[in-house]
Structure 1
């Protein structure tokens, strides 16, 4: 291999930094109109009156669409299989309100300003119904097991072992709701040409958008084109189809004009799901030498009555520690709130906060170094399923991280390290994320000029996906990186996988590794210009998968076969060690993260430059989770009270120190090119590392995120 492992610049770097890259909101069509939404102001009830008179008087208004005049759409369903709508509510086809913020009208006008002004003038009266919106008072039920996620798991008798353990901790942790704040808000440009539809959409699932719109509007999937060349950030929030997308397409059909709908930042909060809050119990029992005899991790999260998927909060607790007895249980409460959805490292991002904080507490109770405690309980096989790990070298990751951080210089007692006015604390936590492995259709062409073209409808969300696939293709074919071109982001291309679960790079790479031998055989055993000349053709092209109805069914069979095969092979996961230094003002409680080292066992690293960016980005999100991010929901009304970046505080440059990331770069033998995935593991363990460092600095254990200064003074 000559391209894999090289720090190539991004192939789209120039067009992005010069502003030449086109996003969904940049598409220009003749007679383009603009849409805006009116949102419900109650959590549950019925619309009794809707007055659009003032709205229609705004100059430039073309249409005001409500449940009284909207064409009927088919009720979309939710889930991971088609279609993939974020909510079961068919907005504007009902007078029922299911959450505060539900769209109750869409206005179309000649300009965006006119559309937003008119949307604000729509007057709606309601007959409210009792609504359950207070998570702290919600009644939770046990989550059922499914093929994709276990609601519960156990080994031995963890409760009895906890009772008899010589040393134990039993703690409750809470995390708040979080909302997505991608730099590009959700934006849809929709154009109808008879029954043919073109949609420009920033999505993590091009195929999911096609299937959902096909179901909603009763047109064939083959009549819908979804274009998504670039996405200005996704992080899970663009993995499903939310009401704004469907209503933009509806508005284009009603007006007969191309329509663009750009959600305001507040509109994203009101209509696009975020991360669920959680209440978690972690109890650990151990012998006095630190061997865990019991591990209990339970959780309560929420879903909306109109959609949402359970959060896999206890997933990492199935795999990280070799406890003799384990009990894991997830519970779910249904509320009259907007459906929750995926957010970078769903489950593990908040699950590792509770688990790794509790492990740190146990280490303190034992008077043991936190790393030593973790290594004493490092399993050789999966603790509950007794399956092998496809690869796992967490010990080496901890050794590397500890060396780079200088962990041996840590004074063990809280409040024992100081720099003038600042209390200094060092914390550590384990990172863990199991990447998903899906399937991808693709085609690969070799031409007479010695270049190759990979075509696959995958998604470029800023992580360098096209660059990584060019490197993988170059090595698979044995040609220079510069000789590879990649086309992506369009449903006219062979269908790619959803970009989620850290799956996309590996899934597309598997397709490339299948195609390369086919191409070599098609050229008579050698990929070269000379071999192509002997064929007398300008190019040779091979493909995998098909987007016909039969091909889509075959693709589902491929997916299930891979899923079952992967489950038999063992547990595949990225692991790592997060090291954090904080400084806390002794008088004010101000917290600053002053140093960070992350070391990861993440398989083969395709591109060190883009991988480091991904890992650092995840750690930044983890720092925000620890110290500032919190969606405030009024427990009386269900309204989000801080739906903007002015009041929802994400980390900025001044909050983030230099972040040093390292990796072992050892391949996973079960994955193409040995890669695993780095998109989500960076956020896992990060919040716990901050919390553990704050405890070491101050002696104050904060178990309720975010860690604000009032909790440490």
Structure 2
């Protein structure tokens, strides 16, 4: 194998992005396109009793205004792969389920005209009091039926007996607020009809899902008549994975008007139109023997859902899978509120991970045991859920190497004991863990031209993670071509199907598909050479022929060689291979993460001054892009722990900070030195993907708890309500 896979090559799309040549969805130029703009409800519970659109319709440039009274009828997509998680479609009736729900869709010749006309739409409501506070409705919590991640309640062993056997017990609660994605690129849709054929330019992490949803929603539209395009994505953190109503509206309106229509959500509209990570309350009861051996974990999570949907996305795999514990009970409960529907959000396991890893830190202090030692004593090489061995798991090595790299042995474990003058210093650690794969896979197509170059196509996405680059590396290695002789294409439903770019499934799923297709094409080229009387490799056994850097040679007589270019040229036609999707096995990527904080005890100001992570990802395709993913996860962990939270007016059910001036995220000045390391050992369970597991969502898990644990170590104050803002540091909260 050539050294292309594993090399830290630069992003193939990097120059296009930094020079502005990359065309994002809203950049799509379509002749004659109209512009859409949404009017959103100002109430959270009730119904529209009257909507006056006359002034808007008379406004310059306005072509049409659609409301629930005249919006084309849409069918509810029901296929799971359609990824339309809502159970209602707005603008189909007068009912209002949350503030910010679409009540009108204005279409005009220019965007500014549509925006102005939207301000002229007058809506009268029958208003009912909304319920929008999770804390006030906890007694209404229930366990929903099995959802996307399986059952919402799982029991292993006897938790009551396990707690009774424990020498030490803790009973603690943690809360995390509502979070929003805030990708740099807002969601956008452009719909173009040609007869009964639809082309949609979409900000999508799942163009296959978008295609299926549109086919089902528009009723009489065959799947093969829908094409979805998404070449570049300016950030995909889950919000662009499911399909949302505005996409279906735009396609329906464009068909009705017989004109292309473009819609780009504003930043504020994205807060109620794209889902979010819901507010959550977690209750832990944990028992352990005096030697640190866990005897029981009882973990109940209660999250907000909408009034019309009850899908839950905050999975508890860390509690079930990360440590050896014979008695475990996890339950996910839902509370229906008059708020927008939650959705996928990057690292859904971070909520459970934050609670579990914080609770274990609390347990370590109760036991007087080093936090790493506690985790080592409960290490497991098998999945406790089913007893099956992991393909590979090198978490123990991550603990050892991570601790050495961070200097953990120099830590004084006493809270408040480490200082620099008046500044308190704290060190914290946690385990990082996230499932990877376990989803439908992908197909791939490769065409090798007479010029000796290859085009590889998959209907996948690059959500900023480096898919263009790493899949070019996989293709080059599998074909035996130089990296520059491969062109990887994605973002088009005319290419072979790929699952949504989510659940850390793209590298193992698309990587395996590209490897399969390219291996098939390479073998076809070898067979052509062997059968060709004009080839120096004529009649050489195929299993003796290697292909490297575009050259085929006989391993027993290396001077007997040919080139891919010559073989395909003599063949007289391109060599093609296409493979179908194969399901991806479930993997588990883990790591050990460490954080140092400095706390000003008078101001309550927390600065993260050092972060360190050591991860087991399986085989590394590209250390540069992988390190970037780990850094991104660490940055988001700083935001999650110290700043980010969506504020809701509980009386009105309205989000009050739908902007980047009120929703605080980290900036460069907030981010310290981040040291990242990798074990880099292939996982045999992912052999078709060269031993690489999915990883992108792993780094954020654990790091939030590591920061919180460091704050406790610095201050002796255990704050169990995120974010750890200054008022909580200096307030009257619990201290130890």
Q: TM-score, normalised by structure 2?
A: 0.91
Q: What is the CA distance between 1:621 and its match in structure 2?
A: 1.1
- 1:325-356, Cα deviation, whole Å (9 max, x unpaired): 2222221222232111000011x111111000
Partner residue, 2:593: 578
Output the aligned Cα RMSD: 1.7
Partner residue, 2:82: 83
Partner residue, 2:9: 8
Query: Given the superposition, is the C-alpha separation of residues 529 and 384 from structure 1 closer, same or farther in structure 2, using an over 3 Å criterion?
Result: closer
- 1:164-195, Cα deviation, whole Å (9 max, x unpaired): 42112110011111111000000111111222
- 1:112-171, Cα deviation, whole Å (9 max, x unpaired): 111111112211111124543221122111233457323222232222322342112110
2:368 equivalent to 1:367 = yes
Query: Given the superposition, is the C-alpha separation of residues 544 and 150 from structure 1 closer, same or farther in structure 2, using an over 3 Å criterion?
Result: same
Query: Given the superposition, is the C-alpha separation of residues 330 and 539 from structure 1 closer, same or farther in structure 2, using an over 3 Å criterion?
Result: same
List aligned pairs for 1:483-632, cutoff 5 A.
483-523=485-525, 524=527, 525=542, 528-529=563-564, 532-533=567-568, 536-545=571-580, 558-559=582-583, 566=585, 572-632=587-647
- 1:587-628, Cα deviation, whole Å (9 max, x unpaired): 111011100001101101100110000111111111111011
Q: What is the CA distance between 1:535 and its match in structure 2?
A: 5.7
* Alpha-carbon distance in structure 2 between the residues aligned to 1:616 and 1:214: 39
* Alpha-carbon distance in structure 2 between the residues aligned to 1:620 and 1:309: 28
Which of 321, 324, 346 is the aligned partner of 1:322?
324
* Alpha-carbon distance in structure 2 between the residues aligned to 1:631 and 1:585: 25
Partner residue, 1:669: 684
* Alpha-carbon distance in structure 1 between the residues aligned to 2:148 and 2:48: 39
Partner residue, 1:552: none
8 Å CA contact retained: 1:532, 1:540: no
Partner residue, 1:681: 698
* Alpha-carbon distance in structure 2 between the residues aligned to 1:34 and 1:308: 33
2:412 equivalent to 1:395 = no
Partner residue, 2:729: 712
- Secondary structure of the residue aligned to 1:124 is strand
Q: What is the CA distance between 1:42 and its match in structure 2?
A: 1.5
8 Å CA contact retained: 1:38, 1:103: yes
* Alpha-carbon distance in structure 1 between the residues aligned to 2:320 and 2:667: 34
* Alpha-carbon distance in structure 2 between the residues aligned to 1:284 and 1:707: 24
* Alpha-carbon distance in structure 2 between the residues aligned to 1:61 and 1:625: 42
* Alpha-carbon distance in structure 2 between the residues aligned to 1:511 and 1:30: 36
Bigger mean CA offset, 133-142 vs 151-160: 151-160
Q: What is the CA distance between 1:242 and its match in structure 2?
A: 1.1
- Which structure has the bigger radius of gyration? 2
Q: TM-score, normalised by structure 1?
A: 0.94
Partner residue, 1:107: 106
- Secondary structure of the residue aligned to 2:685 is coil
* Alpha-carbon distance in structure 1 between the residues aligned to 2:162 and 2:224: 58
- 1:662-713, Cα deviation, whole Å (9 max, x unpaired): 1100110011201012210011011101100000000000111111111111
Q: What is the CA distance between 1:446 and its match in structure 2?
A: 2.0
List aligned pairs for 1:62-101, cutoff 5 A.
62-77=63-78, 81-101=80-100
Query: Given the superposition, is the C-alpha separation of residues 254 and 147 from structure 1 closer, same or farther in structure 2, using an over 3 Å criterion?
Result: closer
* Alpha-carbon distance in structure 1 between the residues aligned to 2:414 and 2:498: 52
- Secondary structure of the residue aligned to 2:500 is coil
- Secondary structure of the residue aligned to 1:248 is helix
8 Å CA contact retained: 1:280, 1:300: yes
Bigger mean CA offset, 442-451 vs 585-594: 442-451
* Alpha-carbon distance in structure 2 between the residues aligned to 1:491 and 1:314: 33
Q: What is the CA distance between 1:384 and its match in structure 2?
A: 3.3
* Alpha-carbon distance in structure 2 between the residues aligned to 1:305 and 1:275: 16
8 Å CA contact retained: 1:40, 1:100: yes
8 Å CA contact retained: 2:180, 2:277: yes
Partner residue, 2:550: none
Q: What is the CA distance between 1:425 and its match in structure 2?
A: 0.3
* Alpha-carbon distance in structure 2 between the residues aligned to 1:94 and 1:240: 22
Query: Given the superposition, is the C-alpha separation of residues 144 and 533 from structure 1 closer, same or farther in structure 2, using an over 3 Å criterion?
Result: closer
Partner residue, 1:252: 254
8 Å CA contact retained: 2:425, 2:596: yes
Aligned residues: 690
- Secondary structure of the residue aligned to 2:249 is helix
Partner residue, 2:672: 657
Query: Given the superposition, is the C-alpha separation of residues 592 and 530 from structure 1 closer, same or farther in structure 2, using an over 3 Å criterion?
Result: closer
List aligned pairs for 1:52-63, cutoff 5 A.
52-63=53-64
List aligned pairs for 1:465-484, cutoff 5 A.
465-484=467-486
8 Å CA contact retained: 2:64, 2:106: yes
Gaps of 5+ in 1: 546-554
- Secondary structure of the residue aligned to 2:252 is helix
* Alpha-carbon distance in structure 2 between the residues aligned to 1:390 and 1:693: 32
8 Å CA contact retained: 1:149, 1:312: no
Bigger mean CA offset, 11-20 vs 161-170: 161-170
8 Å CA contact retained: 2:310, 2:336: no
Partner residue, 1:549: none
* Alpha-carbon distance in structure 1 between the residues aligned to 2:147 and 2:102: 32
